[in-house]
Structure 1
């Protein structure tokens, strides 16, 4: 059974959905920058729930049906995005969960594991990096792209499907134009994908769904890239106690394999699983057996 709901979280309304039996251990899926919960595919969530997990996915602020902020003036930081994840658990009266984070979501999960370790049962970090080294300033569009490539700057580490990097103004579509926006999302996903990326018709259906569910596409595709990341935590990763898996695509154009190795090495006991042929993307269906087994193997 899938249940969509609006939850009061940190003074905003967050749209969330749950799958499975509430008595099972909870798994919170934390998406990438500029990504609504739709990118965690319905069938992926159902299969995860069938493995004995209570699965929760949600729209970040400024994505999907969750509260939107003025374009270019988000007024929140990466810390707020991390606290939203905890707020979803609070609203559902869940004390502890397995955290599964994609790209930016993986960085938010790391922050949560450091700041609220008692709330984290395990970490699965997908297509992500060690997060910001410095919090000297909010991100500019160019800094966001640089951070995606090197994981070194003071920007929100925002590279993720569908907004691979913050596009320059001349590269942006008219976000109110459904067809132009869908075309842009499809091209963005394909440009950073790999050998198993979904075909265009499937991606187009997903992009149309994202557009139709999103309160403000311009805010969705802008604000995460200019929000300040919050205090750096990279040098504290050895404090993480939660069992950790790092899953990383061998064809990721933003976070190089060396970065995945560094992330796994920084967290005590972390294991690294390579996703052969995968780019910077949510796990393609062909790789679901590997990814689902990895998540379900977490103690």
Structure 2
């Protein structure tokens, strides 16, 4: 799909007559990490689910490693462009990890397009909040023999001490992801190289859309205090804490997440 002047890979689930839910994943992650079964289960509950490959992931436009030809503000306009291309006036926006910043920019700079916001495993960016755990930093920096094993290593670190980490399922998805990605080195690096220039006006206190914060109780990347701070920063926001969950969304908690999202997007 040609969006905002670039090619983006977009997939939808369910009926376009239902309320739209736009799923935006975080750094380095293609839309595959919003698992097909998860999207289908949400669609079965009466939602038109949209997932897509951000720039430099999956089948979307790719740039040379270390030289992204875009900034965060471009990713924000990509999300708006997808809604335009699909003829959607307003959507329920879910921003995960890094893409919490995209969701925030949509909420304050394109508020008319946002029916609700959900922030999953993300942060306000307050430097006073707890840092990444030493265990995560050590585990995520471990050497891996291949791109697939590198993804598995990082996602194992994201899960932390969670009992829900399914290594076989993660490896199978990593194999699929590497096989379909235009340039895996660009996917693994470029989101960390781009300029974080959005939102350019407003912040969490200016969000007017109903907001749900979802956070893992043992998140080693953004410890739970980040989710609590985000809830407190957005007027009227609520917080759902996922017990024994790290910086991921394991299959075991999909029913809880889907139930919460269905209720939240019914407003």
TM-score normalised per structure 1: 0.81
Match of 1:123 among 108, 117, 126: 117
User: Residues 232-265 of structure 1, C-alpha deviation per residue, up to 9 Å, x if partnerless?
Assistant: 6697211111000000001111112222111101
- State the distance in 1 between where 2:147 and 2:130 align: 22
Q: Residues 25 and 53 of structure 1 are in contact (CA less than 8 Å); yes or no, is this contact kept in structure 2?
A: yes
CA contact (8 A) 1:117 1:241 kept: yes
For residue 123 of structure 1, give the secondary structure of its aligned residue in structure 2: strand
Partner of 1:292: 258
Q: Is the 8 A contact 2:31 2:53 kept in 1?
A: yes
Contact residue 148 and residue 254 of structure 1 kept, 8 A: no
Q: Number of residues paired by the alignment? A: 258
Q: How far did 1:95 drift?
A: 1.1
CA positional deviation for 1:101 = 1.2
Is the partner of 2:236 in helix, strand or coil? coil
Determine the structure 2 residue equivalent to 1:104.
Answer: 98
* Separation of aligned partners in 2, 1:252 and 1:233: 28
Any gaps of 5 or more consecutive residues in structure 2? none
CA apart distance, 1:231: 4.3
Moved more, 84-93 or 25-34: 84-93
**Matching residue within 237, 241, 248 for 1:274:** 241
Output the CA distance in 1 between the equivalents of 2:255 and 2:201: 31
Match of 1:81 among 75, 80, 89: 75
**Partner residue in 1 for 2:151:** 185
Which residue of 2 is the match for residue 144 of structure 1?
none
Alpha-carbon distance change, 60 to 195 in structure 1, aligned in 2, over 3 angstroms: same
1:248–1:273 contact (8 Å) kept in structure 2: yes
Aligned to 2:209: 242
CA RMSD of aligned residues (A): 2.2
**Whole-Å separation in 2 of the counterparts to 1:77 and 1:237:** 20
Matched residues in 1 for 2:179 and 2:87: separation? 30
**Cα distance in 2 between the residues matched to 1:269 and 1:278:** 24
Rounded Cα–Cα distance in structure 2 between residues aligned with 1:21 and 1:296? 15
1:221 alignment partner, SS class = helix
Q: TM-score if structure 2 supplies the norm length?
A: 0.90
Q: Structure 1 residues 87 and 132, CA, compared in 2 at 3 Å: closer, same or farther?
A: farther
CA distance in 1, matches of 2:130, 2:33: 19
Local SS of the residue matching 2:8: strand
SS in 1 for 2:203: helix
After the TM superposition, which segments of 4 or more aligned residues of structure 1 sit over 3 Å from their partners? 147-150, 231-235
Q: 1:93 to 1:148 in 2, by over 3 A?
A: farther
Assess, with a 3 A threshold, how the Cα gap between structure 1 residues 19 and 231 changes in structure 2: closer, same or farther.
closer
Query: Is 71-80 or 210-219 further displaced after alignment?
Result: 71-80
Give CA-to-partner distance per residue, 1:110-169, whole Å, 9 cap, x none.
111000000000011100011488xxxxxxxxxxxxx9947xxxxxxxxxxxxx99x88x
